[in-house]
Amino acid sequence: SQKIEQNSEALNIQEGKTATLTCNYTNYSPAYLQWYRQDPGRGPVFLLLIRENEKEKRKERLKVTFDTTLKQSLFHITASQPADSATYLCALDRGNNRLAFGKGNQVVVIP
Amino acid sequence: NAGVTQTPKFRVLKTGQSMTLLCAQDMNHEYMYWYRQDPGMGLRLIHYSVGEGTTAKGEVPDGYNVSRLKKQNFLLGLESAAPSQTSVYFCASLSQYGSYEQYFGPGTRLTVT
């Protein structure tokens, strides 16, 4: 069966450190993978997209890697700040402009 | 430019009642989606639309109907609400010009008692 796995435990991290989140998937062959941020009581907000032929993508303090052999994406927040505290969702392309979402991974940045 | 808006924000229904959730977008996007989000589960696709007048089933369509009579609006209907439909519902839209970024509304929190 198809699965998208994100760590269910919250990641508590000290301000200024790098937060790293993992997204593993099985039985998908996504052409691209996306990461979204979701704050409590709000809808998800798009952060980054990485295509299957790209190894790494960066945007300001965010970095995403995509390994289609390992079926894994890593999401990094460098120099983390309390404002980065949120839940981060991994989303895979399912074809026909549909996405399959992971359950999300909460990040708490401690001042 | 309001983006994606959803009404209502909150609703409480009794089992067996019906209601319609409205999603509107002002970005001229071709694609629109309805998701539900439950604790401990990822967003799950209920129905989606690839253009005005078209709809298609997602992962969890049972108990829901949708309509896309106008390009900017996507309606989600519950004909006979059940407690299992207690959830937070999100609408999203996507441009047809290949950015792949979905824009989400603020959500509707629905409780069925």
Mean pLDDT (10-residue bins), chain B, 113 residues: 94 98 97 95 95 96 98 97 98 90 98 98
Q: How many CB pairs under 8 A join A and B?
A: 51
Across the interface, of A32, A43, A97, the residue whose CB is closest to B107 is A43
Across the interface, of B45, B101, B107, the residue whose CB is closest to A98 is B45
In A, minimum Cα distance to B90 occurs at A43
Cβ contacts (< 8 Å) between B45 and chain A: which residues?
98-100
Contact B42, B26 (CB under 8 A): no
Q: What is the pLDDT of residues A36-95, one digit of tens each?
A: 999 999 999 999 999 999 999 999 999 999 999 999 999 999 999 999 999 999 999 999
Task: Please give the pLDDT value at position A29.
Answer: 92
B51: left (phi > 0), else alpha (psi -120 to 50), else beta?
A: left
In B, minimum Cα distance to A102 occurs at B42
Question: With bands split at pLDDT 50, 70 and 90, how would you rate the model's confidence at A111?
Answer: very high
Task: Please give the pLDDT value at position A69.
Answer: 95
Cβ contacts (< 8 Å) between A35 and chain B: which residues?
none
Contact B6, B108 (CB under 8 A): yes
Give which of A91, A88, A92, A72 is closest to A80, Cα–Cα: A88
- CA distance linking residue B79 with residue B59, whole number of Å: 19
Task: Please give the pLDDT value at position B2.
Answer: 85
Task: Please give the pLDDT value at position B13.
Answer: 98
